[in-house]
Amino acid sequence: MFNTITNTAIDTVQTGKKQIVSTFVKHETLADTINKFVDAETVYTKALVDNTVNTFTGFYTLFTSKDFAKEVTETFTPSFTTKAASKKAK
């Protein structure tokens, strides 16, 4: 749902840019070049938003996992998960 909202907003802004180009740029070749840039910018921006949402969704899933703390301690602090050898008093 969030992607639908952002894609609609991106399309609205990019359509506005194309309208400004068609209104103020009278040279056909220059207008065509600018419109191609706007199209490329649209594709890039949509991909950026999609990848960002996917990354944060992955982080959310990872951090809210019930085994996250256990996995972190086992991975990064193995000394805390192993029992220390008992020292014999001399």
pLDDT value at position 50?
A: 95
Domain count across the chain:
1
Q: Is 21 within a domain?
A: no
Q: If we measure between CA atoms, which residue out of 36, 58, 45 comes closest to residue 6? A: 45
pLDDT value at position 20?
A: 97
Q: Is 38 within a domain?
A: yes
Q: Is 54 within a domain?
A: yes
pLDDT beyond 60 at 77 = yes
Evaluate if pTM is beyond 0.75: no
pLDDT digit string, tens, across residues 20-75: 999 999 999 999 999 999 999 999 999 999 999 999 999 999 888 888 888 877 77
Range of the domain at 46: 2-13+26-77
Q: Is 82 within a domain?
A: no
Q: Is 36 within a domain?
A: yes
pLDDT beyond 70 at 87 = no
